[in-house]
């Protein structure tokens, strides 16, 4: 297996795809072997249960929903979240619990709710507090000021997606909503995912979890996209 250079500052590697019969830890260790093929990685946990790699310079975070997993690697603290809409969930009732009064006016659909939910979960995972934090104490506005065009090669079909930077009331963190389709096997069950970073992201690379190869990249400095 070919080794992979660690991401540089302001760069994020995202590995995503079906998890198959493996556990999330098995998938994580498989990805870690790309960076450190001759080292056995040890996981540690902070007081809130956020995992980190002992004796490594990279931060990571993962999210596992249904048969899909997303893992983000960065030189800065990072949080990722992936959610698939659950028919049994009453999104209107959940909105009352997780949305602040200023956020509720723009949550008019189930899709709006899940976009907000993944943004908040990614943020709380990035700061290392997980669900122990009050979701209503952090506010987002659905206003984009950066669009990162990413071309995705999927079999014989090329599609595009945006990485959208979202404003929030915590200016020391950067929050992104990913408009890339990540299906769990059902064409009608599209997932929602978001990332939060300690530093603004100017270079993002998407890796296919099945092949562990880079399928798409955007670099803000070159203003070019490519698979």
Dump pLDDT digits (tens) for 85-131. 887 789 999 998 888 888 888 888 888 899 889 999 999 899 887 66
Quick check: is 4 in a domain? no
Quick check: is 1 in a domain? no
Q: Indicate left, alpha or beta for 91 from its phi (over 0: left) and psi (-120 to 50: alpha).
A: alpha
What was the pLDDT predicted at 87?
Answer: 73
- For residues 13 and 60, give the distance between their C-alpha atoms in angstroms, rounded to a whole number: 9
Quick check: is 184 in a domain? yes
In the chain, how long is the greatest CA-to-CA distance? 52
What was the pLDDT predicted at 147?
Answer: 39
Domain hosting residue 107, numbered range = 11-226
What was the pLDDT predicted at 203?
Answer: 86
Quick check: is 200 in a domain? yes
Quick check: is 5 in a domain? no
What was the pLDDT predicted at 146?
Answer: 42
Quick check: is 144 in a domain? yes
pTM: 0.83
CA distances (Å), 199 to each of 25, 86, 117, 127, 148, in order? 26, 32, 21, 12, 16
What was the pLDDT predicted at 141?
Answer: 74
Count structural domains, the chain. Answer: 1
Instruction: Enumerate residue ranges in the chain where pLDDT < 50.
Output: 1, 144-161, 185-188, 222-227
Quick check: is 210 in a domain? yes
What was the pLDDT predicted at 220?
Answer: 63
Question: Residue for token digits 């709006």?
Answer: 112
Quick check: is 134 in a domain? yes
């Amino acid at each position: 297996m070919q080794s992979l250079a660690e991401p540089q500052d302001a760069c994020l590697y995202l590995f995503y795809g079906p998890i198959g019969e493996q556990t999330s830890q098995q998938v994580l260790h498989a990805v870690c072997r790309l960076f450190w093929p001759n080292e056995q990685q040890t996981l540690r946990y902070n007081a809130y249960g956020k995992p980190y790699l002992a004796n490594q310079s990279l931060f990571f975070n993962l999210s596992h929903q249904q048969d899909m997993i997303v893992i983000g690697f960065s030189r800065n603290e990072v949080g990722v979240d992936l959610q698939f809409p659950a028919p049994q969930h009453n999104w209107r009732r959940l909105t009352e619990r997780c949305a602040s009064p200023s956020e509720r006016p723009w949550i008019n659909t189930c899709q709006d709710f899940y976009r907000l939910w993944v943004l908040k979960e990614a943020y709380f995972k990035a700061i290392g507090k997980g669900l122990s934090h009050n979701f209503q104490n952090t506010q987002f506005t659905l206003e984009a000021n950066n669009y990162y065009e990413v071309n995705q090669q999927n079999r014989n079909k090329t599609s595009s997606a945006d990485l959208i930077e979202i404003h929030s009331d915590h200016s020391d963190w950067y929050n992104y909503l990913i408009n890339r389709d990540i299906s769990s096997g059902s064409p009608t069950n599209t997932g929602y995912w978001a990332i939060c970073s300690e530093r603004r992201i100017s270079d993002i690379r998407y890796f296919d979890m099945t092949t562990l190869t880079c399928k798409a990249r955007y670099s803000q400095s070159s203003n070019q996209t490519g698979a």
